[in-house]
């Protein structure tokens, strides 16, 4: 069985990295194609996880529209699929890369496996455009690797055949645990982490902040910044914000929060440095999906600056709180956690225990063996 892994963003690369290595460990014929929908941030992850792409479409352009990106992916991936002729294409999650690669593979009658399948908000504008990307990919995929029981149920309700659904947990937990092992090794050294150790106070509660969602551009980010500025007046708090490079985010954040006491604005950090920051944090404020999945393993509470999440398990189990983008609600929830959080009663991460890649590869090996022997 020849397998082609396709991804284009930093989150996809993180979540596909442990799967890539598990496929290689089991001697499966695997090739990697990156669209480089993100460039610099993607390259950092590829380097950290020791992945050298076989094909690099290098499609990142400054401020390109979703339609232009989609057209470029569809056109360029056609050349790769035609050359490689894989038996299976594996895509991940909810990106434009995943949706367009799945469509291109379908046009060429190539099977598609969807990793992290079945997440839903059923609101096409939240997250935008990810919700539709994910639903679109589900209509095409031949195999659906779901991270949770809720994701599985979403697909079953949509009429996806049960035999094509494989519940595995989320590969991001595999990547997180792999990263922790690496950065905690006494022989490992990372310049970014060492620099962060020098600038961050050791005696304060760290509030780690990230944000990048399109639906929060404008008023949403203004309200977030105002809430953070208010909280920063506390003497026991240090707010650390690796600021996304998108000018819709960066311009607002620096205008509101630059050169303020107890607020540390830093450029986007590499994945190992971010994992280290999560370990040091007292709580995390984010609109990211992956962080909602990672934080429970680290025992960190998450305030999600969204009104709806395709990852409800963390909310249901008490690891995350949806706070939206109202300034007072964000502030009140940050203060409540700073003052009263005493740890989680049930620390089991609903998104997985670090064996998702193994489960995916085991399924593929069994399927390959059944095809070779003609079994059903």
State the catalytic residue, choosing from 130, 287, 294, 310. Answer: 130
State the catalytic residue, choosing from 120, 214, 311, 358. Answer: 214
Asked whether the bond before 254 is cis by omega within 30 degrees of 0, the reply is: no
State the catalytic residue, choosing from 21, 144, 213, 244. Answer: 244
User: Is 114 an active-site residue?
Assistant: no
DSSP run (H or E) holding 79: helix 66-84
DSSP string, 298-354: HT--EEE-SS--S-HHHHHTTSEEE-TT-HHHHHHHHHHHHHH----SS---TT-SS
User: Is 142 an active-site residue?
Assistant: no
User: Is 244 an active-site residue?
Assistant: yes
Contact 7, 100 (CB under 8 A): no
User: Is 214 an active-site residue?
Assistant: yes
DSSP run (H or E) holding 70: helix 66-84
Proportion of the chain in helix, strand, coil states, percent, rounded to 5: 50, 15, 35
User: Is 116 an active-site residue?
Assistant: yes
State the catalytic residue, choosing from 12, 21, 92, 116. Answer: 116
User: Is 40 an active-site residue?
Assistant: no
State the catalytic residue, choosing from 56, 212, 234, 317. Answer: 212
What does the block give as tokens for 29?
A: 């014929």
Sheet with 55-56: list strands edge to edge. 55-56, 29-34, 2-7, 88-92, 111-115, 143-146, 165-167
State the catalytic residue, choosing from 94, 293, 294, 313. Answer: 94
Contact 274, 295 (CB under 8 A): no
Catalytic positions: 94, 116, 130, 212, 214, 244
């Amino acid at each position: 069985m020849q397998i082609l892994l396709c991804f284009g963003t930093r989150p996809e690369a993180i979540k596909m990295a442990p799967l890539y290595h598990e496929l290689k460990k089991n001697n499966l014929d695997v090739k990697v194609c990156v669209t480089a929908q993100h460039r610099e941030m993607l390259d950092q992850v590829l380097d950290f996880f020791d992945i050298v792409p076989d094909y690099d479409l290098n499609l990142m352009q400054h401020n390109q529209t979703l339609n232009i990106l989609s057209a470029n992916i569809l056109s360029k991936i056609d050349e790769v699929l035609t050359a490689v002729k894989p038996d299976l294409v594996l895509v991940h999650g909810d990106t434009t890369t995943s949706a367009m690669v799945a469509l291109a593979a379908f046009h060429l009658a190539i099977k598609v496996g969807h990793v992290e399948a079945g997440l839903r908000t059923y609101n096409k504008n939240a997250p935008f455009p990810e919700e539709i990307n994910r639903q679109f990919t589900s209509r095409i995929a031949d195999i659906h690797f779901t991270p949770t029981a809720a994701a599985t149920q979403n697909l079953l309700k949509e009429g996806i055949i049960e035999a094509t659904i494989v519940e595995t947990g989320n590969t991001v937990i595999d990547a997180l645990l792999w990263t922790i092992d690496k950065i905690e090794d006494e022989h490992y050294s990372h310049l970014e982490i060492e620099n962060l150790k020098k600038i961050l106070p050791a005696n304060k509660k760290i509030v780690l902040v990230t944000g990048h969602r399109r639906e929060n551009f404008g008023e949403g980010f203004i309200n977030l910044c105002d809430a953070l500025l208010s909280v920063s007046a506390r003497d026991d708090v240090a707010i650390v914000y690796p600021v996304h490079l998108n000018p819709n985010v960066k311009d607002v954040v620096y205008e509101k929060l630059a050169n303020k006491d107890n607020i540390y604005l830093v450029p986007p950090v590499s994945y190992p440095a971010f994992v280290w920051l999560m370990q040091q944090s007292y709580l995390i404020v984010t609109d990211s999906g992956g962080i909602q999945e990672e934080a429970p393993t680290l025992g960190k509470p998450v305030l999600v600056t969204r009104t709806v999440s395709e990852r409800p398990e963390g909310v249901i189990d008490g690891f995350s709180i949806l706070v939206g983008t109202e300034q007072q609600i964000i502030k009140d929830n940050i203060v409540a956690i700073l003052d009263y959080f005493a740890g989680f009663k049930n620390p089991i991460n609903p998104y997985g225990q670090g064996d998702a890649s193994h489960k995916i590869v085991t399924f593929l090996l069994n399927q390959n063996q059944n095809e070779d022997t003609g079994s059903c």
